[in-house]
Every structure is written in structure tokens, then in C-alpha cells.
Chain A
Amino acid sequence: MEQVLLAREYIKVFFSRYEGYIVAVLKFLLCFTVLTLINREMGYMKRLDNTSIVLIVSLLCSFLPANLIIFFAAIFAVLHTYALSLECAVVIGALFLLLFLLYYRYSPRDAVAVLMTPIAFILKVPYSMPIIYGMVGTPLSALSVACGVIVYYMIKYINSISEVISGMGEETTVVRFKFVVDGILHNREMIVMVAAFAVSLIVVNLIKRLSVPYAWWIAIGMGAFADIVAVVVVASRLDVSVKTGGVILGNIIAVLVASVVKFFVFSVDYTRTERVQFEDDEYYYYVKAVPKNTMNIGAFAEDGGLDRPKQGKPRRPKPRERQE
């Protein structure tokens, strides 16, 4: 356990020192993964299914705000579906536009859930999404995760009907449009997942706020349990067949993933090295403020060549209460 704690401190020091580069690399990796997965899963437009284009866009995104990754992912998805059929492109484009106009304008920080949820489905860890967003977000994050689920099932549905829709050349555009919309609206498996994820996320979020010992760990466990119950109940109500064993196994994996994320992300204050500039009447100041770390990581400093931080009590800036 001590080794794990030391590793966590090492990551913390490493992150606080190279934060600028790490964030750029993470954005690059996220964009590259998302666009590669879109190309692999859809790939109808051959000109777009090109590693060079993906690399260029990913490099661009590593220096741009994170929400632009969603914009590029949406453009890729719409262009691929356009190559398949105009009707699919209209439906998927309208969905993205509605999401932006009606929801993400108000809650841009949650927007990345619409990317992460389909990725979690493709990586076979979908049940971890409501638990993680329950920990990091608010009950309203259920909407973001629900949008991610809808996007994933929409892409999955369009993939499943790609041959059928290609063979409907003689039908009118209205018939094809109806075919696409009906398939998406009547996807009961999608409704089951949306409902179960919403329940799980809200349960996690409400329990983690309780002031009881181990509230976060209880929240993770109860979130997974609520997810299993919700999937089984809603599926039986809507007459959808689900593999209960698979749901339980998926939730066990989700608990493990959420526990790792909780340990390395939410338990640590990745206080950053700050570089600020200001001036007064006499001087210009260029200040680099380095956070103090509390744990002895001498062994890592010797091996890894990182600066050994000063020892001392953890000091965090507290809100200043003015005494009148």
C-alpha cells in the first residue's frame, strides 16, 4: 500500500511540474482516440478515414480548448454518415445541434461526457461512466451521460442498418428518413441504459455528499447496485432481454475502474505550479509559485531526477475572512 501511495505522490509531483505539457498530451490522446474510434466504427468516407488527417486534427486540438474536440468529433461523425446517406447525416447533425442549443450552452464543463460515454461503451466499461460522473459532477450530469448513451446507440444503429440503407436507393428520402428516426426512437435497449445510468449517477452523487465515513466508497458500491437493479427492472418493464450476469460483471468491473479513478484522481489535490505576472508602481513581478508537497518521495527524486519538494505542513490558501 505504501508503494501505491508513493506512486500517487510521484504522479502528483510530476503533474504539478509538467502540467502544461501533460494537459496538451492528454488532449492530443483523447482527440486521437475519439477520431480513430469514429473512423474505425463508421469509416464510410474513405477520404476522412486517414491517419494523417486524424493526427493533424489531434495536434490542433492539443492546443485548443477541450470542448473543440467534441466539435471535431461531431464533424467527423456527420461527414461519415453523409457518405452513407443524407438522411442519417441530417438526423445525427440535428441531434448534435439540439444538444448544443438546449443543453451544452448551459453546462459546457459536462460536454466531455458525450465523448467519454461512447468510448466507455467501445472499451466495454460503460457502467463506470455513471459512477465516475456521479463522483465528479452534479445530478444534472445524468443528462450529459444520457446524451452520450444516445450518441453511442445512434452510431451503433446506423452501423447496423448501413447495408439496408445502401440498398434502399429506390425509396424516397422521406421513407429512408422515417426508417432511421423510427429505429432510433424505438430503441428500447437505449432507453433501458439511459434510465439505469441516470439512476446510478444520481445515487452516487447523493451518497458521496453524505457526511459519513467512507461516503465515496459506499457511493461507488451503491451506484453499481442501483445500476444493476435499474437495468433489470426497466428491462423487464420494457420487455428487453438483458444478460443479468453480464450486467453484474460489468458493474464489478465498473467498481474497480471507479475505485482506481477515485484513488488517483479525486483523492489527490493536484495543486498546480502557478506562473503569474503582475506589477505595482515600482516593480514588474514574474512569480512562479510551487506547491508544497507533504510526503517523502526522496527515493523517486533520486531515481527520477525530479526536484525534491520542501517538507512542511500542507498549506492551502484559505478564504480570507475579513475581521471588521
Chain B
Amino acid sequence: MKSHLDGNRVKLMTRMASYEANEGKDAIRICRFFRSDYVVLNVVRAAVTSTIAFFLLGGLYVYYNIDKLLQDIYSMDIVEVGKSVITSYVVFVGVFALIAYAVYSFRYDRARKSLKDYNNALRDLSELSVKNQLKG
């Protein structure tokens, strides 16, 4: 009995399935987004995590210097302290947002590059299917 299986097509589909399951897993997930959406979403996440980290570090700093702060609380310029805290916060979160912007832009571009071969394979598969239909 003659088999209806096309060897080339099976090989191509196997390689594509392997890519989807392994190295292409992240690339396919990333490329479901538009570039700007993906990068902005991750910058916002980085801003949230760095805000948590800032308050954690701030809490540890205050606890470490609690004696000194309690002594100076009536003599310190609250407005100046507030300004310096806000400046530190903006710089801290800004640095991490910038790092996130660079990292996730790079990852998106790398994922697009990686998907190029996969998309080519998809086109080849489509052409093979058309050829098989014409033969049939």
C-alpha cells in the first residue's frame, strides 16, 4: 500500500514543532505583542518592582538610623527631606526603567530575528501543501 506521507513536509513540520517547543517558545510569546506594547508593559513592571525595592531599602535605612532620625526630627527641614526622597525615588526608578527599556527592546528585536526563519519555514510548508494539492 502506498503511503500518502510527504517526507520533506514531515521533516519541515518536525523542525518547526521542535522550534515551537524549545528555543522558539519565548520568541513566539514575545512576538504576539507589538514592539511598543511589549516594551512599555515591561517598563511599567520594572517601575513597580523598583518602587517596591526603593521602599524596602528606604525602610531598612530608616530602621538602621532610627535613633539619629528621632533625635533630629524636630530640627530637620521636612520639605528638603521630602524633596531629596522624591529625587532619589525618581532617579532610582528612572535608572531601572531605562535598563528595562534597553533589555526588553533588545529581547524583542532578537525574538523577531529568531522568528524570521520560522516564518520562512511556514511559507515553505504552505508552498509544499499547494504543490501536493496540485499533484493530487
Contact = CB atoms under 8 A, between A and B. Distances in A.
Contact of B50 (A94, A101, A181, A320): A101
A106 B46 CA distance: 9
A94 B62 CA distance: 14
B60 to A, nearest CB: 6
B56 A277 contact: no
A171 to B, nearest CB: 13
A94 B96 contact: no
A319 interface: yes
A317 B10 CA distance: 14
B14 A276 contact: yes
A319 B115 CA distance: 11
Interface string B36-67: 00000000011001101100110010011011
A97 B56 CA distance: 9
A285 B5 CA distance: 10
Contacts, number: 66
B1 to A, nearest CB: 15
A278 B46 CA distance: 37
A40 B117 CA distance: 50
A177 interface: yes
B31 interface: no
A276 B21 contact: yes
B28 interface: no
Given A102-B96, A106-B99, A289 B121 contact: no
Given A320-B124, A322-B120, A177 B63 contact: yes
Interface string A181-195: 100000000000000
Contact of B10 (A97, A287, A322): A287
B134 to A, nearest CB: 15
A283 B17 contact: no
A274 B17 CA distance: 10
Contacts of A105: 45-46, 49
B53 A101 contact: yes
A282 interface: yes
Contacts of B123: 322
A90 to B, nearest CB: 8
Given A101-B53, A105-B49, A181-B64, A319 B117 contact: yes
A101 B64 contact: no
Contact of B64 (A177, A283, A287, A289): A177
Q: Is the interface of A mostly helix, strand, loop or mixed?
A: mixed
B14 A289 contact: yes
B124 A98 contact: no
Contacts of A212: none
A320 B16 CA distance: 12
Contact of B53 (A102, A106, A278, A289): A102
A320 B117 contact: yes
B67 A174 contact: yes
Interface in B4-24: 4-5, 9-10, 13-18, 21-22
A170 interface: no
A178 interface: yes
A101 B55 CA distance: 12
B103 interface: yes
A287 B129 CA distance: 19
B15 to A, nearest CB: 6
A142 to B, nearest CB: 16
B111 interface: no
Interface of A: 94, 97-98, 101-102, 105-106, 174, 177-178, 181, 274, 276-278, 280, 282-283, 285, 287, 289, 317, 319-320, 322
Interface of B: 4-5, 9-10, 13-18, 21-22, 45-46, 49-50, 52-53, 56-57, 60, 63-64, 66-67, 96, 99-100, 103, 117, 120-121, 123-124, 129
23 contacts: A94-B56, A97-B53, A98-B53, A98-B56, A101-B50, A101-B52, A102-B50, A102-B53, A102-B96, A106-B99, A106-B100, A106-B103, A174-B63, A178-B64, A181-B64, A277-B17, A278-B13, A278-B17, A280-B13, A282-B4, A283-B5, A287-B17, A320-B117
